[in-house]
Amino acid sequence: MATRNVYLKIERIPDYSPVAPDMHVSPPIVYARDCMRNMGHEDGKIPDDEVAARRLTALIYREYLDPQYLVPKPDKLIAADVNEPPFTRRVPGTVIYARPGDRLRIHVKNGDVQPHSFHLHGLRYGIDSDGSWPFGTQSDDGRRSDEICPGQTWTYTFEVTEETIGAWPFHDHYRNIGADVNRGLFGGLVVLREKEHEQLSRFPYPPEFEKRVQEILKQLEGRPHKPQRTPRACGSGEMSTVAKAMHGRMSMSGHMGGGRPMPGQAVERSETPAELFPYLVALEELAHAPQPLPRREHLLHVPLFFHQMSGFRGAPVFQSAPLNPGGNYTSPKFTLAATYKYICGIHGASMAGSVTVQPGGPSTQTVHIVDFAFNPANVTVGIDGQVTWINDGPSQHSVVESGGDNLPSFCLNGRSFVGNTPTILAHAGQRIRWYVFNLDLGMN
């Protein structure tokens, strides 16, 4: 059997909206669409408050090309999906193609702040590669197959045989599997005969790009490694809310490397070596550009995942700038029935209020801000209503919606509503093969 190594890293995608996964898009991609013009979307668009209400911190298995997890694999999930976001903002993270005769060694590194695992259906494996908690195994150094702690890695081994030709899902199987699968922590493995691999689309790297990257990776291999910080033991307590918020902000800054690990931050950010930096920047840019469609005589491979996306929403649905005395702020139009809690961004949760949006409510409401309260603290508006805050106090204040559970979304490949979901562009007469994965666990 030929051994093939696959490198997956569990990573978060902050502020992911299944109706607008990527903010930096260029035509033909247009997100926040509903081409079926469902209720509330009669103009074919999804309003801003709904785009925000569907946001969550997504989790994915991102595939890398090297054992140091430095260079992400940029290939699209569906080459012919003209709506697919780049690998940086994509759910699920990857689809792996294998062939009979492969011995797959899937190295899973946990870059999240909670433990996770990896569980694959369909292929043959030993008990050390099952990954379903609490039936895992433990290595001599204390790592577990069913509980990969933040910063740790586990290697799962699978044998690919003739009988396993087909499409198989994988997903996190640590404790609360519903919650993490519903954040995007799943993917697919497709076993194809050798000859079918020739027609798989590949990422259009510029000439010499791959060669140069491989050379740099090779040089880096010889370099002495910085001592790894001992990964924090599982069950040693959750991160504080502040540490979590700091971690979130750090990952949102989008810089590769540079930042020093913050106190309380469970995951060490691997520092991107300077030599690689321009290549990774170029890779991201290329992945944002439209890519050539597969040739007419090639079969289109279309892996499609049905699933839900639900989880914690960190990004506020509404938020003012700091308001000087006498200043005011008007919310966006609220199009969804919901209750939003908010606080003063300057003085914190001791100044709190709520906005309830319900059909039949008034179209406007005014809230007076004084030192140190919102008056009235709780207001109700109708659909398409707006709230205006006026700072009547002597101090500066602000209005920040405090987040909570998101509005759950039914998705195809991490995206919701026609116009955002996969849009397959094929040549007349071209054959399409659909691989359909049902990851809808029906748990909420």
**Sites of contact with Cu ion (CB under 5 A):** 344, 346-347, 351, 397
Nearest distance from residue 150's CB to Cu ion, in Å?
35
- Name which of 305, 8, 315, 312 is nearest 179 in CA terms: 312
Nearest distance from residue 371's CB to Cu ion, in Å?
8
Pick between residue 133 and residue 374 the one whose CB is nearest to Cu ion. 374
Residue 309 CB burial class (10 angstroms; 0-12, 13-18, ≥19): buried
Provide the CA 122 distance to its chain's centre, in angstroms. Answer: 25
Nearest distance from residue 327's CB to Cu ion, in Å?
12
Nearest distance from residue 369's CB to Cu ion, in Å?
7
Distance between CA atoms of residues 187 and 168, nearest Å? 9
Nearest distance from residue 188's CB to Cu ion, in Å?
48
Pick between residue 137 and residue 396 the one whose CB is nearest to Cu ion. 396
Pick between residue 113 and residue 351 the one whose CB is nearest to Cu ion. 351
Distance between CA atoms of residues 394 and 400, nearest Å? 19
**Cis-peptide, bond into residue 376, ω within 30° of zero:** yes
Distance between CA atoms of residues 87 and 76, nearest Å? 7
Distance between CA atoms of residues 424 and 252, nearest Å? 30
Phi, psi of 252 (to 5 degrees): -70, -25
Distance between CA atoms of residues 436 and 108, nearest Å? 24
Pick between residue 241 and residue 350 the one whose CB is nearest to Cu ion. 350
Nearest distance from residue 322's CB to Cu ion, in Å?
9
Contact in structure between 106 and 188 (CB atoms under 8 Å): no
Pick between residue 58 and residue 351 the one whose CB is nearest to Cu ion. 351
Report the sign of the C-alpha dihedral through residues 218, 220, 222, 227, in that order: negative
Residue 54 CB burial class (10 angstroms; 0-12, 13-18, ≥19): buried
Query: Tokens in use for 79?
Result: 């080459």
Distance between CA atoms of residues 179 and 181, nearest Å? 6
Nearest distance from residue 385's CB to Cu ion, in Å?
24
Task: Tell me the residue number closest to Cu ion, measured at CB.
Answer: 344
| One-letter amino acid for residue 390 of the chain | I
Torsion (CA) 87, 89, 92, 95 in degrees, nearest 10: 0
Pick between residue 274 and residue 349 the one whose CB is nearest to Cu ion. 349
| One-letter amino acid for residue 229 of the chain | R
Pick between residue 76 and residue 397 the one whose CB is nearest to Cu ion. 397
Pick between residue 44 and residue 322 the one whose CB is nearest to Cu ion. 322
Nearest distance from residue 350's CB to Cu ion, in Å?
8
Query: Tokens in use for 167?
Result: 């499409």
Nearest distance from residue 252's CB to Cu ion, in Å?
24
Pick between residue 148 and residue 399 the one whose CB is nearest to Cu ion. 399
